[in-house]
Amino acid sequence: MIFDRMSLKPKTAIVTGAAHGIGRACALALAEAGADVAVIDLKDTVFKTADEIRALGRKTIPVIADISDEEQMNEAIERIIREWGKLNICFCNAGTFQDIPAEDMPLEEFERVIRVNLTGAFITARAAGKAMIQGNIPGSIILTASMSGHIANIPQCQCAYNSSKAGVIMLGKSLAIEWARHKIRVNTISPGYIRTWSDEPLKPEEIGTSNFEQWTPLRRFGSADEIQGLIVYLAGDTSSFVTGSDFVIDGGYTAF
């Protein structure tokens, strides 16, 4: 049965950037699908996400760590392997953002964005990939890129962000080719304008009023829970022939 094949029992997963937004929503979705989910973030609100996972009847390990710090991420994943014995799924979701005109951007700010979004994704994926290879475990690694890895958004000034996310897409393809022999699948997702910055719902009169919504064919922001189904699909066995792909979830924004 298809629903049986979509179950993630008894898999284990890690999600970075799990304190809020897409990371939190997808960590809960993986748990609802049956996985035990370790959650990693710099913010201590990640412990709230962990409590929500426990309430679903799944195990969790909350970790405060910086994805751009090699030592911290290696230690985090080593801890997960020690406690759970295996790692099946890694959702490298954490990232950062900037909106600074290129001519005014300090070099250290450009390098910070690249360090978090691209280097951090590599550090996390490499640590997860090593654990899967050493454990001889077929796995799924998912990286959060962005539609901004495909287009240059207007009117934002975000050359560092766009460059980092384009790099994440190619990183995913490269790792997919390298690790196919280990039966590790690597894919990327490229969200569009997902409303993750506030838990407060928009008032009816506010819906569809921003330029970002007007420029999106569906005329609205996406929500974090609209990413959940794709992550569960990519994490599980129903996507066993899917690797090296990028999935754009943008309400049609990049279709024209």
> Amino acid letter at 234?
L
Please pick, among 146, 148, 163, 164, the residue that the annotation labels catalytic: 146
Alpha carbon 102 to its chain centroid, in Å, reads 26
Please confirm, yes or no, whether 233 is among the known catalytic residues: no
Catalytic residue among 140, 165, 190, 253: 165
Active-site residue flag, 146: yes
* Active-site annotation holds for 165: yes
Strands 139-144 and 12-16 come out as unpaired
* Residue with tokens 């921003």, as numbered in its chain: 210
The CA distance from 208 to 206, in Å, is 6
CB proximity list for 215: less than 8 A, separation 6 or greater: 253
Measured distance CA(107)–CA(110) in Å, rounded: 5
Catalytic residue among 11, 161, 193, 253: 161
Give the angle 142-143-147 at the CA atoms, nearest 5°. Answer: 125
* Residues assigned a catalytic role: 146, 161, 165
